Amino acid sequence: ATPTALAVSSGRGSQLGILVSGPEALESTRSIDTVVLDKTGTLTTGVMSLTGTELSPADFDVLARLESRSEHPIARAIVDAAPEIVGMGSAGAASTGTVSTGSVSTEPSSMGSAEESASSASARSVEAPGPSVTDFENIAGGGLRATIDGAEVLAGRPDLLRERGITVDYPTDSIPRGATIVALAIDGQFRGLSFVSDEAKPTAKAAIDELHSLGLSTVLLTGDNAQAAEVVAEALGITEVRADVRPEGKVSVVSELQGQGRAVAMVGDGVNDAAALAGADLGIAMGSGTDAAMAASDVTMVNSDPQQIPQAIRLSRRTLGLIK
């Protein structure tokens, strides 16, 4: 259903920025006892930054050229960091340098003028990869592949590389706590890891607390790795976590919960959330998210603020109380 502004509780809903697809959408909120929440872009800002890389500047440049074809928040983080990392290489800095201290600043003012011109040149090459990137393929829930300068380039979850017969070995203690891992292979050879992460939205904790105080149980559902999911779940007080879930697996988790007799609200923002949003008893999309997520949902939170989730549930409970 296409979300249209519909007055909820005498216009209070649209005032709050809660768009409802139709009156029947609210009917289902009565019985909701479980709220399933996507992580990236729903509970976290979805604005990722690079927190470290093991790649040489040359390999990072290849990764950035591949990622420049993707819309994923991971891709933005890699592409944004490229001028500084690749600039390091062309400015003669250590070619195997590992960046591991905090976020990489991409502020031109933080760099010398020589580096600045080198990095703006590489920024251009990242933004306009040219004809050397061919056969681009977006592998849903896993990563990306393409032919770049004649080489076969694959980047994404370590398991994606392993599924394609590439040996990916690294000590688990080399991973920054809670980071999302991007593994790179060129011509079937593992080249190293890069790490990206984002932060919980400022109101996410209060939103989860409020859902719990309304008597609802919460589940974190993500395609990201278990450790990254645990860090967010722990910070927000969510005890049930489903991580490493492929896009087609998200809807299965929702129907599994429904099979246990639970009435499920699903909150998400991505294309990969659309089937789960449609399958849930109540689908709630973030306004900042994809059109696919909004089209599959009963309710859209215009401000993408997690606190609108308990607000919408309270509002519809109250409205239905008046109607019935």
Residues assigned a catalytic role? 38
38 binds Mg ion (CB under 5 A): yes
CA nearest to 304, candidates 320, 290, 318, 316: 290
| In the complex, least distance from residue 112 CB atom to ligand ADP, rounded to whole angstroms | 30
Strand order, beta sheet including 133-139: 49-53, 189-197, 180-186, 151-156, 143-148, 133-139
Which of ligand ADP, Mg ion, none sits in contact with 74, Cβ below 5 to 8 A by type? ligand ADP
Q: For ligand ADP, what does the binding mask look like between residues 208 and 227, x meaning CB under 6 A?
A: --------------xxx---
Which residue in the set 247, 258, 288, 320 belongs to the binding site for ligand ADP (CB under 6 A)?
Answer: 247
Both tokens of 88, joined, read 């390091």
Minimum CB distance to ligand ADP, residue 78 (Å): 7
d(CA 127, CA 145) in angstroms, rounded, equals: 17
Residues 140-159 contacting ligand ADP, CB under 6 A: 141-144, 155-157
* Cα angle value 313/317/323 (rounded, 5°): 145
Nearer to ligand ADP, 13 or 223 (CB): 223
Strand partners, 233: none
Identify whether the C-beta of residue 309 lies closer than 8 Å to the C-beta of residue 22. no
Question: If binding is defined by CB under 6 A, does position 59 make contact with ligand ADP?
Answer: no
- Contact of residue 191 among ligand ADP, Mg ion, none (CB under 5-8 Å per partner type): none
Phi first, then psi: give them for residue 294, nearest 5 degrees. Answer: -70, -40
Residue closer to Mg ion, measured from CB, 40 or 304: 40
Task: Give the x-and-dash track for 66-95 against ligand ADP (CB under 6 A).
Answer: -x--x-x-xx--------------------
Q: Can you read off the two tokens belonging to residue 126?
A: 């990242």
192 lines the binding site for ligand ADP (CB under 6 A): no
Site size toward ligand ADP (CB under 6 A) is 23
* Shortest Å, Cβ 235 to ligand ADP: 17
> Which position's Cβ is nearest ligand ADP?
223
Residue 210 touching Mg ion (CB under 5 A): no
170, amino acid identity: Y
- When asked if residue 129 is in the footprint of ligand ADP (CB under 6 A), the reply is no
49 sits near ligand ADP (criterion: CB under 6 A): no
Round to whole Å and give the CA distance between 6 and 20.
6
Residue 269 within binding range of Mg ion, rule CB under 5 A: yes
Question: 3-state DSSP helix/strand/coil percent for the chain, to nearest 5?
Answer: 45, 25, 35
Q: What backbone torsions phi and psi does residue 288 show, to the nearest 5 degrees?
A: -80, -5
Q: Which amino acid is at 291?
A: D
Pairing mode of beta strands 264-268, 240-242: unpaired
Q: Which residues in this chain contact Mg ion in the complex, by CB under 5 A?
A: 38, 40-41, 269-270
